Amino acid sequence: MNGVQSLTMSRKQPAKASGWRRFDEINILMVLVGIALLCEALGWIFIGQSFLGNPQRLTIAILQVSVIGIIAIGVTQVIITGGIDLSSGSVVAMTAMIVASLAQSEGWARALYPSLVELPAYVPIVAGILLGLIAGCINGLLIAYAKIPPFIATLGMMVSARGIAKWYTRGQPVSGLTDEFTAIGSSAWPVAIFIVIAIIFHIAMKYTRYGKFTYAIGANPQAARVSGINVERHLVKVYAIAGMLAGIAGVVACARAQTAQSGMGYMYELDAIAAAVIGGTSLAGGVGRIAGTVIGVIILGLISSGFTFLRIDAYYQEIVKGIIIVVAVGSDVYRSRKRLKK
């Protein structure tokens, strides 16, 4: 009887949560518009130029956070299950270092593997995706089957992946990449990749069993198990996908920078978590939308681009970002308490 009751409760929760998510999206859009208008007003006041009047500037704003956006889509799914992923930034660095070593051009004096130069672009790309996938699978296996808390498991992966990135070339950067590979990071390709991934997982989370299982586990894992969901296997899938997306982000970041360094991806995991939380994803699990995360990413991009446009010290960006995260999490806690009272 308890199993039936818990399952019934878990089925009722999404209906409430969907109403709250609609409310969240309205608030998020209002914040997005407010930040854009604030940047526009400050632009005219301080330097006499329009921030929103230049479409290229808005494209650059999204381009700057496209890598964060790719990571955030995977992190959102992890948080919806009630977990967390602290390893994505380090996976970006590890992936970028290894991918760069497989994308070096012929004749480069400091080629890491002289016999593996001028490889087709798909070789480092596939290698990067597989590396991220393996890292994500390890996270998932540790969490689902070894029952290690997500915070500890992904923290361990964060330290290990960053260590591999430093060890791989003893801290030396990897450069001299082929034009075929670096083309992935040029122009609007990173934005296009981010948008395509966002659309794919928006559909997956909203219309497929994968999305329904993810929400069910986050809302009530015991009820999900009673209803026939293999919770452990699904958690491995979710973390594997998050790792794969971090691998893709590493490939894009490497191609865009046209080099790889062990310090790449530093704090990216926190920016990705921030984008998800700003976008209405609840740290308690069971609530969140890919569309909201995309809006959260755009908000971070507008803040970064707006501060640069206004020539404000970059350190202030971190302060403002921290305030926004605290407000978003505080709002999430308040809404969670309101839901529990009803």
CATH of domain 54-99+120-167+178-341: 1.10.3470
104 three-class SS = strand
Give the model's pLDDT for residue 14: 41
Cα–Cα distance for residue pair 309/58, rounded to 1 Å: 11
Q: Supply 119's token pair.
A: 């490889």
Percent pLDDT > 70 in the chain is 81
Give the model's pLDDT for residue 219: 92
Residue 203 phi/psi, 5-degree rounding, is: -65, -45
67: closest CA among 249, 231, 244, 285? 249
Residues 6+ apart with CB under 8 A from 342: 16
Mean pLDDT of 12-22: 43
Cα–Cα distance for residue pair 83/81, rounded to 1 Å: 6
Confidence grade of residue 27 (pLDDT, cut at 50, 70, 90): low
Mean pLDDT of 18-30: 53
**105 or 315: whose pLDDT is higher?**
105
pLDDT digits (tens, 9 = 90+) for 52-103: 666 666 677 778 889 999 999 999 999 999 999 999 999 999 999 999 999 9
Spatial contact of 205 and 73, defined as CB atoms under 8 Å apart: no
Q: Where are the alpha helices (DSSP H) in the chain?
A: 2-46, 55-64, 66-80, 88-101, 122-144, 150-168, 179-182, 189-207, 209-219, 221-226, 231-257, 268-278, 290-309, 314-341
pLDDT digits (tens, 9 = 90+) for 166-192: 999 888 999 999 999 999 998 789 999
pLDDT digits (tens, 9 = 90+) for 290-339: 998 998 898 888 777 777 766 777 777 778 778 877 887 787 777 777 76
